[in-house]
Amino acid sequence: MKITGIELRRIAMPLRAPFRTSFGVESARDILLLRVVTPEAEGWGECVAMSDPLYSSEYVEGAADVLKRYLIPTLPALGERVSARAVKRALKPFKGHRMAKAALETGVLDAQLRLSGESFGSFLGAARDRVPCGVSVGIMDSIPELLETVGGFVDEGYVRIKLKIEPGWDLAPVRAVRERFGADLLLQVDANAAYTLADARQLAKLDEFDLLLIEQPLADDDLIQHAQLAKRMSTPICLDESIESVEDAAAALTLGAASIINVKPGRVGGYLEAKAIHDLCVAHGVPVWCGGMLETGLGRAANVALAALPGFTLPGDTSASRRYYATDITTPFELADGHLDVPTGPGLGIEPIADILDSVTTSSEWIKF
């Protein structure tokens, strides 16, 4: 496969409601899309970096810059030997910038699979044709507001609820949700690294609520203290921000810092690395689930395909399109009986709707090879 050019397109997507976590509030998404063009097919990649370096060190403007300056210029040297695996190898010398790398690798992989007629799910090794869906609920202004929001998602059919927590917003909201919706509700919490080991006693109080897991309670660069916390809690610890590669996952499991891994393809550098982490965890009997980054239908299609792999035994954050966006840029993903269907068409199996995409585009740049 030979690439003739790549388009970098910025779009502005307002959220249906502000989404608050321990590191900030999002009301709209500034999203970088990447379109890989070949003589025979086109492929799309979505960069999940946020506008500001809060969730990670990456941010949209920086991702666009590193793509233009360093990552995309490596591809012409591949000539007609371009493939997702070749791109992964070509980008390896550049440190970090995994979200930018993931967008480029995904765009190439989408074009590659559209050309061969194979779906993302088939390529990755999907074992199901639909996946169970959970939903992430942000930090609210009050308990009544939280209960109303959770109740709406339960009524929609989501099979798992994840509550964002932070110091001062943890025990009370979790207790309220558990009491209102009962012991049968699959419930987990996500701290986004908001706590320290000094909070271990407070975090251990969450054990009484029979949670599926607590996600990333401590700093992303401290596996040792996560291992210490794991000894003081019965609630399983799941790592998110700490896991940027298969090597990170192996270290976390070896140290006992986690018993569950959240796999976010953008965070780990792409779907090839995400598959490698899945395979490692399956080999060690460790469950994984697919996290979300408020993706459009493009990123959601790839995530749903990934979540269909056999090791993804816990519901992920693969919510329906309407969870975040009133109008998606693709045919929307609709929840049915708490599940989303895995796309079966070539590549992502979905593509942007031109009129909608144009209406939300804020800038576009063409890079010719």
Averaged over 260-268, what is the pLDDT? 98
- Give CA–CA dist 308/34, Å, rounded: 24
Radius of gyration of the chain (CA): 20
Task: Catalytic residue, from 95, 164, 231, 275: name it.
Answer: 164
pTM of the shown model:
0.95
- Give CA–CA dist 270/110, Å, rounded: 12
108 Cβ contact partners less than 8 Å away, ≥ 6 residues apart: 1, 3, 36, 43, 45, 82, 83, 84, 87
Instruction: Name the token pair of 31.
Output: 């999203």
Instruction: Name the token pair of 79.
Output: 């000539």
pLDDT tens by residue, 275-306: 999 999 999 999 999 999 999 999 999 999 99
CATH T-level fold of 121-341: TIM Barrel (3.20.20)
Which residues of the chain are in CATH 3.30.390.10 domains?
5-117+353-364
Can you identify the CATH homologous superfamily of domain 5-117+353-364? Answer: Enolase-like, N-terminal domain (3.30.390.10)
Task: Catalytic residue, from 231, 264, 275, 368: name it.
Answer: 264
**Active site (annotated) includes residue 368:** no
pLDDT of residue 22 exceeding 90? no
pLDDT tens by residue, 201-248: 999 999 999 999 999 999 999 999 999 999 999 999 999 999 999 999
Question: The dihedral of CA 176, 156, 356, 59: what is its sign?
Answer: positive
**Active site (annotated) includes residue 164:** yes
Which residues of the chain are in CATH 3.20.20.120 domains?
121-341
pLDDT tens by residue, 135-153: 999 999 999 999 999 999 9
